Amino acid sequence: TVLRTIERSRITHVLFTSAMMAQILDLPSADRFNLATLRKIIYRGNSLPLNLVKRAIRFFGCGMVQSYGLVESSGVLTFLHPEDHSLDESAPYMRRLMSAGKEAIGVEIRVVDEQGSEIPCGQVGEVVARGKNIFAGYYRDPESTAEVLRSGWLHTGDMASIDEEGYLYLLDRKYDTITVGGIPVYPAEIEKIIAEHFAVAEVAVFPRPDRALGEIPVAVVALKKGEKGDADSLLGYCRRNMAPFKVPRAFEFVPSLPKNSAGKVLKAKLKEKLVRGKLTR
């Protein structure tokens, strides 16, 4: 319906969620539509795997902008602009393509430690922001407001690093971090790598209690239609592409991951089923 509308109404600008754009790319009939009028696509939401971003650039053939932000920041904190959506395979371009871009005009972004002090480039910390777009507070909830608004800075709860050029690299939510033997591991980082596997349609990674290491990562995987996969093959793939302590210790296979109306995976619901052993295989 979306592609048909773009073609019939000669749409020039569209806003997609990341999940919606991924679903369009997987449509068998997608290339039958004429999308020549498209001039710009803005997409936001969970970060797309690098291979999907490349497919989107080739498929849509127009300027693309990735947006990162929170409701509390009026939806805007950073932009990855069209000039950074390049298929140049050199390291700088591929690295930028995996980022959330640079701070928007009028927005200040910092990455800080637990004490709120700014940390050096390349190190992981929490994203904080300030600007005229930041909200005044939660309605009739001063305690929650004080928790996220400190000294004029919005504490996003997102973990990330910033490089020397000012590009922001998001890792995961602060409270989704898995601690494996005292080492912080970010589920989104593992998910991105597993999502690059040719047979994988969707993946979500969760912590599972472990007597020796405290927590270990576990992956819930939905395979692409017609593809076959097993835990051993995915385990071998992970061992070749990530540090040993990040490799999931178990794989659960499901037909699809539960999502909300915006296409965002309902991790809390999935985790509850995983803990109770009620996943539908």
Q: List C-alpha distances in Å: 268 to 170, 257, 261, 271.
A: 20, 11, 15, 5
**C-alpha closest to that of 225 among 256, 195, 251, 252:** 256
* CA angle (242, 247, 248) in 5-degree steps: 145
Average pLDDT of span 244-270: 87
- Average per-residue pLDDT for the chain: 92
* HSE value, Cβ hemisphere, 13 Å, CA-based, for 52: 24
Pairing of strands 102-103, 214-223: unpaired
The pLDDT of residue 62 is 97
**C-alpha closest to that of 176 among 266, 267, 256, 103:** 267
Residue with tokens 């996220």: 148
Confidence class of residue 281 from pLDDT cuts 50, 70 and 90? very low
98, exposed or middle or buried, with CB in 10 Å at 0-12, 13-18, 19+?
middle
User: Which residues are registered as beta bridge partners of 42?
Assistant: 15, 65
Length, in residues, of the chain? 281
Residue pLDDT, tens place only, 210-242: 888 889 999 999 999 899 888 999 999 999 999
